[in-house]
Structure 1
Amino acid sequence: MAQSKQKTDREMLLDILHFAPGKTSAEDLLFNYKDVLYPSTICSKEMFEALETFEARDDDLMIVTYPKCGTNWVIQILHEMVSIIKNQETVLDQPMIEFGSPQMLERLKEQPSPRILSTHLNFQMIPKSFFEKKTQMLIVIRNPKDAAISFFNFYKNMPALPTYESWNLFFNDFIHGNVCYGSYFNYLVEWNNHIDEGNVMAITFEDMKTDFLTQLKKISEFFGLPLTDEQLCEVERRTSFTSMKQKSEDTHGKLGDAFFRKGQIGDWKSLFNEEQSKEVDAKFQQHLDKTKLGDLLNYAKYCKF
């Protein structure tokens, strides 16, 4: 009998997310670590403690995002870029560095460079070695209203996360930071304090949607990946949102639709009421107005009725 193919760490974690116990309470599916909520099926105190001594490399390619801001899209972009440069297919294996068990971090030590890494962790939780090695870190941000809508739908479609009976209930938790990975606004405020460091660059989901090829060039130059214009066009073809959604079952199994839903700009207008919109406006004004990341978001263009 032929042996079945051994699943990668990433595939095993996708299985855990999909086959998590039926939708139950937040107390069962989330846990609090240092005042931030995390999914208990794939994150643990032991993993966070192990991350404290994780050894980054100076040639790692690190993607940093708040949830539902383009994470999996950029992961695939970097895999395609590295595949083209190496002239060989790379395995889409490594999950977020905080997912899984400490044994996964041990296996990560054996991966050849450049490793493509990603995380939703806030600045304070990033392993110190990334800063000591001055690893290049790409921050991908998205306007808070579309991020909230996408996060709400992700909760609805992810068995490993609790169910919300309504958008209004989810919005109340989102605006107060009582969702996985905490407050969107605190997340961006922390990173804004480090945006001028030479190994950190930020791009927006909106710019990727409206001027994709230019953003691909920025990404390749930031990470020192020497791609020709022709090669960048090939990456663009392979990683358009439409292409990613079409192959999402291959890359993300039965959870493909949860990870790649619409990818639209302005979808927030379908659920936000005027009061909710004003609440987010006030939060933005308080925390991000006239900051570098706030300016980059082009809030007036993308977040006004």
Structure 2
Amino acid sequence: MADNSKFIDYIDEALEKSKETELSRLFFTYQGIPYPVTMCTAETFQALDTFEARSDDIVLASYPKCGSNWLLHIVSELIIAVSKKKHEHPEFPVLECGDLEKYQRMKKFPSPRILATHLHYDKLPKSIFKNNAKILVLFRNPKDTAVSFFHFHNDVPDIPSYSSWDEFFRQFMEGQVSWGSYFDFAMNWNKHIDDANVKFILYEDLKVNLASGVKQIAEFFDFSLTGEQIETISAQSTFQAMRARSQETHGAVGPFLFRKGEIGDWRNLFSETQNQEMDEKFKECLVGTCLGAKLKYDSYCQT
């Protein structure tokens, strides 16, 4: 199991900042996208421009609440299985979150480094592309993503809450949430989803057949594992197993990060009008695109 002590410390600090932050003051805008003031700073983004990626860095990209912590766990377990050593996260693994000196410290980290991110493709450091690091992109259907995002805000005691689901839905559709619009994120990544160094994986596919997903991830990053190792990692990486260990791995926020993990939970909150609005938005932004087809919207987002 990976050592997540630095992860827990960072989350605890962010939650402490959140206690004193009103919802209206939670975001600052950098290059047109809102980010949470409790986790990101403009100065860190400026320092990120000079970050030196390595060719063997493992980049895990996703929009918030699409399963990034789940994916991070799976990849950490793959590295442990291959290296037979405990894998540590010496820094909070989300690339754009942290202090100004983070990237200097990361120069000393052993390979492979895991770089999780919620950034658009064109906001990533140029060195990632120059050195041809592999990028695994995780997507989840937008309706379940929105509901999970809402519950995270309104269930975690120290994070600023929305007055209602209707209020959150409006902000989500307008892209006025942390890391901005789901649809802008998706359209930006769609341009590169079939690049040679990019692999797309669907949250729902992991839920339906986790072992198959773990095998695909291992093959993409050139990890040589036996079928037995794949099965072991899959058994340790089910949503239920992750939730059972969530406080140990992610601290007090763990049970909220791994709340339900269900496909179709959106049906408990979406009104018919909201359904139609998101269907129209999906049609406008993603129907006819490669990513739009891969998201299986008709299967997961139609009533």
TM bin, normalised by shorter chain, reads over 0.9
Q: Measure, in 2, the Cα distance between the counterparts of 1:66 and 1:288.
A: 15
Aligned twin of 1:125: 123
Aligned twin of 2:290: 292
1:89-136 residue CA offsets vs partner (Å, 9 max, x unmatched): 212443201111021221111110011110001122110111111110
Q: Measure, in 2, the Cα distance between the counterparts of 1:280 and 1:148.
A: 10
Match status 1:303 vs 2:294: no
Q: Measure, in 2, the Cα distance between the counterparts of 1:24 and 1:70.
A: 26
- Residue of 209, 212, 231 corresponding to 2:210: 212
Q: Measure, in 2, the Cα distance between the counterparts of 1:23 and 1:273.
A: 33
Q: Measure, in 1, the Cα distance between the counterparts of 2:277 and 2:225.
A: 43
Aligned twin of 1:225: 223
Aligned twin of 1:278: 276
Aligned twin of 2:23: 26
**Kept in 2: contact 1:97–1:118 (CA 8 A):** yes
Gaps of at least 5 residues in structure 2 are none
- Residue of 52, 57, 61 corresponding to 1:55: 52
> SS of the counterpart of 2:136?
strand
Q: Measure, in 1, the Cα distance between the counterparts of 2:97 and 2:213.
A: 28
1:241-266 residue CA offsets vs partner (Å, 9 max, x unmatched): 11100111011100012211100000
| 1:209–1:179 Cα change, 3 Å | same
Aligned twin of 2:166: 168
Q: If the length of structure 2 is used for normalisation, what is the TM-score?
A: 0.95
Q: Measure, in 2, the Cα distance between the counterparts of 1:11 and 1:255.
A: 9
**Kept in 1: contact 2:64–2:118 (CA 8 A):** yes
Q: CA deviation at 1:29?
A: 2.2
Q: Measure, in 2, the Cα distance between the counterparts of 1:93 and 1:61.
A: 15
Q: Measure, in 1, the Cα distance between the counterparts of 2:291 and 2:175.
A: 19
- Residue of 179, 190, 200 corresponding to 2:188: 190
Q: CA deviation at 1:27?
A: 3.6
Q: CA deviation at 1:177?
A: 0.7
> SS of the counterpart of 1:203?
strand
> SS of the counterpart of 2:19?
coil
Aligned twin of 1:180: 178
Q: Measure, in 1, the Cα distance between the counterparts of 2:100 and 2:219.
A: 32
Gaps of at least 5 residues in structure 1 are 1-6
> SS of the counterpart of 1:74?
helix
1:119 partner amino acid: T
Q: Measure, in 1, the Cα distance between the counterparts of 2:44 and 2:87.
A: 26
